[in-house]
Amino acid sequence: MVNSVLRAFAILTLLGKKGRMTLSQLCRELRIPKSTAFSILETLEKEQAVAREEETGMYSLGIRLLELGQEAQQNFELRKVASPVLQQLNREIDETVHLTVLDKDVVLYVDCYESSKRLRTYSVIGVRAPLYCTAVGKAILAFLDQDEQSRIIQRMQFQQFTPNTITNREALLKNLDEVRRKGYSVDDIEHEEGVRCVGAPIYNNKGRVCASLSISGPASRITSERIEFFAQKVLEAAQEISRRLGYRKG
């Protein structure tokens, strides 16, 4: 365990209970040296996890924790709503099904139901992956507000994972146009050798894309000839989750 991380959590927990405290009070309660506490607080303040009042020098919890809490709550609600649909899809096709959300400029895998077959893709819950070469990533990116999409693409640093990986903005934009036209996305062995995925966007009650799901498996089973079959399944599941989240088309 990392002591500085444990102490940071102890500080945040204590501030959560007490509300506002000075550096001396925190050190006295937690029995840590002032220099150590100050260094941790300085970092937490920089990340907006704590706020310091100039007049009194007192510390309190910062706005970043509120944002993180809201994000955690949204992800929890999403998983709760999506889980039955994901399980049904997994049982129906017996391929691995993933649920993801946008996390800054990447996708974060938040839920997974694996195929029962020996040769399969495995759970990657908690793992982050690029937007430009994953079906789940492109399913979100294609349907974002155009300004937000442009900002994310401008920041991208492309890395080639396989011979099929998209490695420039022009090719990505062309691919995203196709995703919007079809309504679903394909990772055509772009992120991992031998793995093909089909993804679709999930919308919230405000009509904004908030997540995506995918069917993934060996390219020997998710063949080019069967893309339309899997696309129909993933679209039906994504539409049902969106409906349960309160989305109404139009």
Show pLDDT as tens, one digit a residue, over the chain (250 residues).
567 888 888 988 988 888 888 999 999 988 889 998 899 989 998 888 899 998 898 999 888 887 777 666 666 688 889 999 999 999 999 999 999 999 989 999 999 999 999 888 877 888 999 999 999 999 999 999 999 999 999 999 999 999 999 999 999 999 999 999 999 999 999 999 999 999 999 998 889 999 999 999 999 999 999 999 999 999 999 999 999 988 887 6
What's the angle, vertex CA 168, arms to CA 167 and CA 170, rounded to 5? 140
Half-sphere exposure of 64 (CA within 13 A, CB side): 10
How, if at all, do strands 50-52 and 59-61 pair? Answer: antiparallel
Q: Specify whether the CB–CB gap between 162 and 190 falls below 8 A.
A: yes
> Letter for the amino acid at 28?
R
This model's pTM is above 0.85: no
- Taken in order of first residue, the domains within the chain and their CATH numbers are 3-61 (1.10.10.10), 68-244 (3.30.450.40)
Q: Specify whether the CB–CB gap between 61 and 15 falls below 8 A.
A: yes
Cross-strand bridge partners of residue 201: 212
CA neighbor of 37 nearest in space, from 52, 25, 47, 27: 27
